[in-house]
């Protein structure tokens, strides 16, 4: 998905506000401390929960595929968003803070 705005976990602060589009079990296994959980399939009906930000809002999933689709769609809706490359797996590998059980098999 070329042309998708992206960022890396190294460019995102540990306490950054993110939108996590993973499923409920993945979320419960561990998530970024200030993430908002809106599963990908629920985005169209939960847009009002996405806060306005001064810069791109990071969108994250497990590895980056679902979040890339979410970023493409949200950008079409007028949101300033960026895909967090590598997703929560890369977040975990980078040693960033995780809330939850931090189970890398599910994260």
DSSP state for residue 56 in the 8-state scheme: P
Q: In this structure, is residue 100 part of a structural domain?
A: no
Q: In this structure, is residue 101 part of a structural domain?
A: no
Check if 97 is active-site: no
CATH number at residue 32: 3.40.250.10
Question: How many structural domains are present in the chain?
Answer: 1
Q: In this structure, is residue 103 part of a structural domain?
A: no
Q: In this structure, is residue 102 part of a structural domain?
A: no
Residue 106 has pLDDT above 80, yes or no: no
Residue 102 has pLDDT above 70, yes or no: no
Catalytic one of 61, 68, 81, 82 = 61
Residue 76 has pLDDT above 90, yes or no: yes
Residue for token pair 């490359």? 85
pLDDT for 9-39, tens place per residue?
999 999 999 999 999 999 999 999 999 999 9
* Per-residue model confidence (pLDDT) at position 2: 63
Question: For residues 71 and 57, what is the distance between their CA atoms, to the nearest angstrom?
Answer: 9
What predicted TM-score, i.e. pTM, was given to this entire model? 0.93
Q: In this structure, is residue 54 part of a structural domain?
A: yes
Domain containing residue 77: 6-93
List all residues 6 or more positions away from 37 whose beta carbon is below 8 Å from its beta carbon: 20, 22, 24, 27, 31
Residue 105 has pLDDT above 90, yes or no: no
Q: In this structure, is residue 98 part of a structural domain?
A: no
């Amino acid at each position: 998905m070329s042309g998708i705005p992206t960022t890396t976990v190294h460019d995102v602060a540990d306490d950054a506000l993110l939108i996590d589009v993973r499923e409920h079990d993945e979320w419960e296994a561990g998530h970024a401390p200030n993430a908002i959980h809106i599963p990908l399939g629920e985005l169209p009906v939960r847009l009002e929960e996405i806060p306005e930000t001064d810069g791109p809002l990071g969108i994250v999933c497990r590895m980056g595929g679902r979040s890339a689709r979410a970023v493409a769609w949200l950008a079409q809706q007028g949101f300033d968003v960026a895909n967090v490359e590598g997703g929560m797996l890369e977040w975990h590998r980078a040693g960033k803070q995780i809330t939850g059980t931090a189970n890398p098999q599910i994260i």
